[in-house]
Homo-oligomer: A and B are copies of this chain.
Amino acid sequence: MQSRPRIPEATVARLAVYLRVLTGLADSGRGTVSSGELASAAGVNPAGLRKDLSHLGPCGTRGVGYEVSTLRDRIAGVLGMETAHACVLVGIGNLGSALAGYGGFGNRGFEFVGLFDASPARVGQRIGDLPIRPMEELDAVLTATRATIGVIATPAEVAQRVCDRLTSAGVRSILNFAPVTLSAPAGVGVRQVDLSVELQVLAFLDKQRGPAASPLGTALAPAGGMA
């Protein structure tokens, strides 16, 4: 299987996780790793991991496992990390500042090349070595840097307008933290991270798992059983 026939999106997300684990293993000098161990470190099933990797073509040695640095490079290549990706970030409030200051992107191939905010109070401040720019400069920076990824961390009310400006200036991928569903032209990829949704899913699953579990030993026999 070459990577032609399209890699499933679920697999792509896991490949990114494997890459993170493999990078850690490589840094600690590990030479080879088995699917079982890698799967355990990534929190997935070993057979599923092997199926995921099968989309990259054979890349292990039977009876041995995978060579850590080779596999890491292979996945990095498939994910398109041989070149850095330039990103702009719009909305430098608390969350935006956190994202702008987060060092974890750089060593994974993503780099912010522009920070934007509508508030004059914030414009001109710096985060790291980047200045916060006014929204008026968005198009110019996008043109100059050819950034293809836009990150939106604005209030919900303006997120759609920001999205429109980004896409009309040529941005093809958007990561949105504002709690609204964005609509974007065909050909533009949007991913949504909604922190409240995550919490609600957690709370629901907990409720579903066992209604009356009190931290102190309130002995109440659960109907279904425990696991």
Residues of B within 8 A of A202 (CB): 149, 173-175, 189, 191
Is B113 within 8 A of A102, CB to CB? no
**How many A residues, CB 8 Å from partner?**
96
- Asked whether any CB of chain B lies closer than 8 Å to the CB of A207, the reply is yes
Q: How far is the CA of A42 from the CA of B182 in the complex (A)?
A: 9
User: A223 touches which one: B95, B104, B129 (CB < 8 A)?
Assistant: B129
Residues of B within 8 A of A62 (CB): none
- Asked whether any CB of chain B lies closer than 8 Å to the CB of A221, the reply is yes
Dominant secondary structure of chain A at its interface with chain B: mixed
Is A220 within 8 A of B83, CB to CB? yes
User: A110 touches which one: B141, B170, B172, B196 (CB < 8 A)?
Assistant: B196
Residues of B within 8 A of A114 (CB): 227
Is B227 within 8 A of A113, CB to CB? yes
Chain A residues near B (Cβ < 8 Å) = 6-7, 9, 12-13, 16-17, 19-21, 41-43, 78-81, 83-87, 93-95, 97-99, 101-102, 104-105, 108-114, 129-130, 141-146, 148-149, 169-170, 172-175, 179, 181-183, 186-187, 189, 191-210, 212-223, 226-227
